[in-house]
A = this chain, B = another copy of it.
Amino acid sequence: MTSRQETPEFALIRRYFSQLTACRSDVLLGIGDDAALTRCPPGMVLATSMDTLVCGVHFLDTVDPEALGHKALAVNLSDLAAMGAEPAWVTLGLTLPRADDRWLEGFAKGFSRLARVHGVQLIGGDTTRGPLSLTLQVQGFVAEGSGLRRDGARAGDDIYVTGTLGDAALALYRLQQGLTDEPGSETLLARLERPQPRLDVGRALRDRAHSAIDLSDGLAADLGHILASSGVGARVELPRLPCSAPVEAFMRARGDWSLAVAGGDDYELCVTLPETLRDEIAALSRELNLPITRIGRIEDAPGLRCYDKNGGLWTPPSRGFDHFSEHDA
């Protein structure tokens, strides 16, 4: 029962991590003092996002630690992508029941590989004993006035999403139902466990998009945040939703769009853009080799309206993925 005393083995973890991430010139003092000292470039503002992942709530205790290391950082970077920010530094609060070498090695590998890819340096944190959970805070830069926000959508905007929708939700469903031998499960699992933060899309659109958000809770919930913040509504054409073959097949068999509309954990971006940029978005999609699909349009009337191919109105479940799970589990 003590305050914050670090045992030697936990101090080692800290030092171990500190050598694995990027090494940035704007970090004046990294891990090892009372606080880190870092420099923000002139004319830029800081974008800050914090996420907590708790074992049994956000991930299963059987999770591959390398995948968890990746995902913990990825979901935070996804928030910066949705702001159009350049990632810079991360702090990691890691609470572990015990210092398990193999677990830590795997976690550090997944975490640090993604950090290096995006030039992110670990500058501090805290390592404590307790029930497994992680809190990460990432920070990045964006020029003052050019950050993407949720509250700028305007009637007439096109609505786009990156990548495909529903893969992570279907992967979790298959895990929960013991259906991981079905075709395509490996690819789906990668989508659940190793989401790719769409930083390149956020970067390309930061002076163009009227609004943006990352899809953590599902399209209906997250687009709903844009609509509420912006005081507008939207129509979404369900047949336009970009989905992988297994997700398409699953939804067709059930006659239910929930997986794509309300499945969470995809960490794709949803953005709204003026119609005049359609050619530019098509070019960006080719350049990044990533689907960026127009799925609907912002309208004045509040609320989200989803239409099927016959023009029929379809009501998405109100609580996103949770709701979806309850229905099917």
Residue from the list B40, B54, B128, B150 in contact with A95, Cβ < 8 A: B54
Asked if A52 meets B321 with Cβ closer than 8 Å, knowing A5-B221, A172-B1, the reply is no
Query: Once the chains bind, are B321 and A50 in contact (CB under 8 Å)?
Result: no
Query: Once the chains bind, are A50 and B133 in contact (CB under 8 Å)?
Result: no
Query: Once the chains bind, are B33 and A130 in contact (CB under 8 Å)?
Result: no
Residue from the list B3, B168, B212 in contact with A264, Cβ < 8 A: B3
Asked if A52 meets B95 with Cβ closer than 8 Å, knowing A4-B217, A37-B45, A79-B34, the reply is yes
Q: How far is the CA of A95 from the CA of B137 in the complex (A)?
A: 15
Q: Mark A213-241, 1 if CB is under 8 A from B, else 0.
A: 11011100100000001000000000000
Q: Mark A47-62, 1 if CB is under 8 A from B, else 0.
A: 1111111111110100
Query: Once the chains bind, are A39 and B144 in contact (CB under 8 Å)?
Result: yes
Residue from the list B34, B124, B133, B322 in contact with A130, Cβ < 8 A: B133
Asked if A264 meets B52 with Cβ closer than 8 Å, knowing A37-B147, A47-B36, A82-B34, the reply is no
Q: How far is the CA of A61 from the CA of B271 in the complex (A)?
A: 44
Interface positions of A (Cβ within 8 A of B)? 1-6, 28-29, 32-40, 42, 45-58, 60, 75, 79-80, 82-83, 85, 89, 91-95, 123-126, 128-131, 133, 135, 137, 140, 142, 144, 147, 149-151, 168, 172, 176, 212-214, 216-218, 221, 229, 264-265, 319-322, 325
Q: How far is the CA of A95 from the CA of B95 in the complex (A)?
A: 12
Q: List 6 A-B contacts (CB under 8 A).
A: A2-B265, A5-B216, A28-B144, A40-B40, A52-B135, A135-B135
